[in-house]
Chains A and B, each alone.
Chain A
Amino acid sequence: MNSGPKFSTAVLWTLMILGFALVPVLMRSSYQLNLASHVLVWGLFAVAFNMLWGVTGMLSFGQALYYGLGAYFVGLMVEYLGSAWYLPAIGIGMLAVAATSFLLGLLVIRVGGVYFTMLTLAFGQLAWQITFKWYDFTGGDDGIQGIAAPGFLQNPIAYYYFLLVLVMLSIWILKRMAYSPFGLMLRCVRQNPERVRFLGRRVRRNQLRVYMVSSLFAALAGSLMAGIDNSIHTDMFFWTTSGEVILMSVLGGLNQFFGPFVGAAVIIIIEDIVGAWTEYWSLIIGSIIMSMVILFPKGLVGELHQLKLRMMPPKERRSE
């Protein structure tokens, strides 16, 4: 994982935060605010997902389960108990996800490989089926709308800053994890699990830890999403949601910490633009990702980084 010389990353971070912070000031319609909000939420979701795949090598096709749980805890609690429960619901949702991901993780991590991927897909779909069919409680395919946020958060701009702070904080936490000994350990688990065992460390235990962390932040992303459009929908559990986050990571670059965020931004913005003149978005994004997988497996940020390295004199490459 590349951290880069400290000065330039700090500058980039500041620019990015500043950029997002200025959106409400510079925007010309609430639509752009909405777009920026989506980028932030999906960005978090994708970065959290990448801890699982890019860093640790665990391809889960079911992170939508936790994303959906985060969203539905907020949606359902506010719907049935009132908007005062909005913030507590985020916390309670995360607790529930911690428990769920722990139990599920114990079950699915043992099998590994394609089976792990398929089992996570299966559980995600299970959640979708239950939510879909339990119309009376969850609203089924109609979802639930009109989820009111409490007090001052009802102002969309206030909510946007609330969202921005939480997302940036979360990404910062994840970043510190990625560059810590734990993060190094996770990367080693991906590259050579046998050697990790030889160091006296447990592979599965580390996999379970990152699975829980990734799921927790997926849940947070879902909870925050519920407040953007003030609604929840069963599609949040659907496997294509899990797939979306995978595509974002691949586009941005698996081996870059920040790649998935960039991937999320690119996909959301392009989807927005392309969606205006064609409904065949799947065809386009499918083709793009397919080309990337075949030609540029390192993703946007990864390939750019490679390019940068190649243009630097060898001596300076060290700190990259």
Chain B
Amino acid sequence: MDFSFFITQTISGLTMATLLFLVASGLTLIFGVGNVFNFAHGSFYMVGAYFGYQLVSIWELNFWVALILAGLGAGVVGMLAESLFLRRIYGRVNEGGFQILLTYCFILIIDDLVKLVWGTEYKSLPRPKGFSGALNFGDIYLPSYNLVIIAVGLIVVVASWWILTRTRPGKIARAAAVDREMVDTLGVNVPLTMTLVFGIATALGGMAGALAAPLRTVTPGAGVEVIIDSLIVVVLGGMGNFWGAWLGALLIGEVNAFAVAFLPKWASLFSFLVMVIVLIFKPEGLFSPRQVRKV
């Protein structure tokens, strides 16, 4: 294995890791702060991709503007879903089961709504101007758009770090992840916080969808693959562990990139196996402190 190949794969893995992180971080955020497992998270990713398609390919907006709007759009959809429907089952007996059920219904509904509006054919989204090429360093091939994705990811990571550690809402979110009742008694509006967190998480996921759209075609059903991938990441990093999601995404991104290079047909099985092993031996995640999380 030579150096240029290694670099190329590593960057490729980093790209995937970034996309995974953007989705998985939202998933883990919702779980950590709200104790809700958003099974439908992948659907918001897909919604973001479709919004991106609509804004860029149909309405011909500037790519960067569209990216942000797509994310915001997905976030709004997420907040509506949470406040109108999900909220009504909080606190029920057997809540976990009903959550999964309800979010499963979200998947069914959103998938069909997307088909209704945009049809079932695959849609494509072109890369933004100036980024369709690649940088070449000898044998190293670095598509410029991939670098964009990685850059966006870094921005999100830094911004998240700053928000979570330096701002009041961020600290509240972290506190809520540890002890929700305590935060409630402090006078924080918990339902509103929940909705906002849900919105931010789905916005991130939606933005990831729009960001990924030029790389992959935009299709209904994309949400399903994404949820399983992000699930793997979240399990690795630990449910509710924001930075764990980042490390997990990195790990899976790279594992996948190299696996695809060597065993393209069975590459996806690898990440799977990794998740199963982690779930069996350390269900709280590789990067989390040992805690018994048996609901």
Residues of A within 8 A of B (CB): 53, 57, 59, 61, 107, 110-115, 117-119, 121-123, 125-126, 129-130, 133, 239, 243, 246-247, 250, 279-283, 285-287, 289-290, 293-294, 297
Contact = CB atoms under 8 A, between A and B. Distances in A.
B105 A59 contact: no
Interface string B73-96: 000000000000100110010101
B280 interface: yes
A59 B109 contact: no
A294 B294 CA distance: 26
Interface in B29-81: 37
Given A112-B295, A118-B279, A250-B101, 19 more contacts: A107-B280, A111-B294, A114-B37, A114-B295, A115-B283, A118-B235, A126-B276, A130-B269, A239-B224, A282-B111, A287-B109, A289-B101, A290-B102, A290-B105, A290-B106, A290-B109, A293-B98, A293-B102, A297-B92
Contacts of B276: 119, 122-123, 126
A237 to B, nearest CB: 14
B217 to A, nearest CB: 18
B183 interface: no
B283 A283 contact: no
A194 B280 CA distance: 23
Contacts, number: 104
A282 B113 CA distance: 9
B266 interface: yes
A290 B101 CA distance: 8
Contact of A290 (B85, B94, B231, B295): B85
A286 B112 contact: yes
13 contacts: A57-B94, A113-B293, A113-B295, A114-B37, A117-B100, A121-B228, A123-B276, A280-B115, A286-B104, A287-B105, A289-B101, A289-B108, A293-B102
Nearest to A117: B100
A203 to B, nearest CB: 11
A59 B37 CA distance: 14
Given A239-B224, A286-B112, A293 B101 contact: yes
A44 B89 CA distance: 29
B105 A293 contact: yes
